[in-house]
Structure 1
Amino acid sequence: MKVHNVEMIMSAVKTEQYPKEGYPEFALAGRSNVGKSSFINKMIGRKSLARTSSKPGKTQTLNFYKIEEQLFFVDVPGYGYAKISKSTSAKFGPMIDEYLVSRNELRAVIQIVDLRHPPSAEDCNMYDFLVNYEIPAIVIATKADKIPRGKYEKHKKIVRDRLQMRVDDPLIVFSAEKGIGMDEAWKEIEGRM
């Protein structure tokens, strides 16, 4: 998809605040600091529409990005970051769960993991949640520029095995630095609209 028009239209914390357009939505989930904002910015061809931060845990709302008047990327708070207070973290859980389980417009969750490392316990818990509620997932293994191309398959196998991925869920090697995997990711997204 060639992206010309994109805007961050709202931050929401409850159902009544969600957009009413009815466009397909793709939620982005991942550990804090795994590269969700970099993924969004690369996919939409912007340098800094989604805020990247060296301080994990910055996203504390559901952020809706409208793309080409056709779909939304929904950035959800990162999981698994210890420095967020327990009370703040406890608020994320129900907000995210409610969105993921009850939102009719949600077509898939784009779960971002780091290709360089085996998925964490939090990554596995998130993926199990998606399986449990029969929510389709597109797993993006990012930071691919940091490992040699010849090792991609080995690292992909580790991700697949550790998450115990469903056969129908794609696993895409991605690099926001080099643009690796962008076309493949857009193809998966567009195929679900």
Structure 2
Amino acid sequence: MRPLDLEGAWEIVPKVHADARGAFLEVYRPDRLAELTGRRFDILQGSLSRSARGVVRGVHFADVPPGQAKYVTCVQGAVLDVVVDIRTGSPTYGRWQAVRLDDTRCAALLIEEGLGHAFCALTDSASMLYLCSETYAPRREHVVQALDPALGIAWPVGEPVQSPRDAAAPTLAEARAEGLLPSYDVARKHTGRAR
């Protein structure tokens, strides 16, 4: 387990026990996540998405509070998973970090409330498992344009495929002007990180 460069995001790399029969690993351990983060991560919803090569999903986020923390892993294929700091007032506002998630290494990301999440499918088919701290609530859910030049995310595909909603999403600057982005101070208070 290691923290990413963006406060509130961690990479979790499980021990994979492999032999001639196949492999076994622990996908989710709430006790170890609590040791890592200093707080509980209760799952209220589990979701699965399947994407074709070149599909880019996100940058998705939810209003804080309550927000929606996510524990994400790629259970089939491979993705470039991206965490974006969209919290206004954050020292790393507008920065992003990418991690390859795949069904070989079996790593996962824990992404706290207030951060944005996106990914790009790198294989012909990629299946992502999301364990979420809150249920999906359309009125609290938002998206920032993943292809926003100001973010400059280095997507490894020539022509990304997006959903109509994601393709029509505002840029980071537009979302900020519309008051859609979470506040760093509010997110820190909500997650118990405020000093």
TM-score (structure 2 length as normaliser): 0.35
Question: If each structure's strand is expressed as a fraction of its own residues, which one has the higher value?
Answer: 2
- When Rg is computed on C-alpha atoms for both structures, the one with the higher figure is 2
TM-score (structure 1 length as normaliser): 0.35
Structure with the bigger RCO (C-alpha within 8 Å, sep 6+) is 2
Question: If each structure's helix is expressed as a fraction of its own residues, which one has the higher value?
Answer: 1
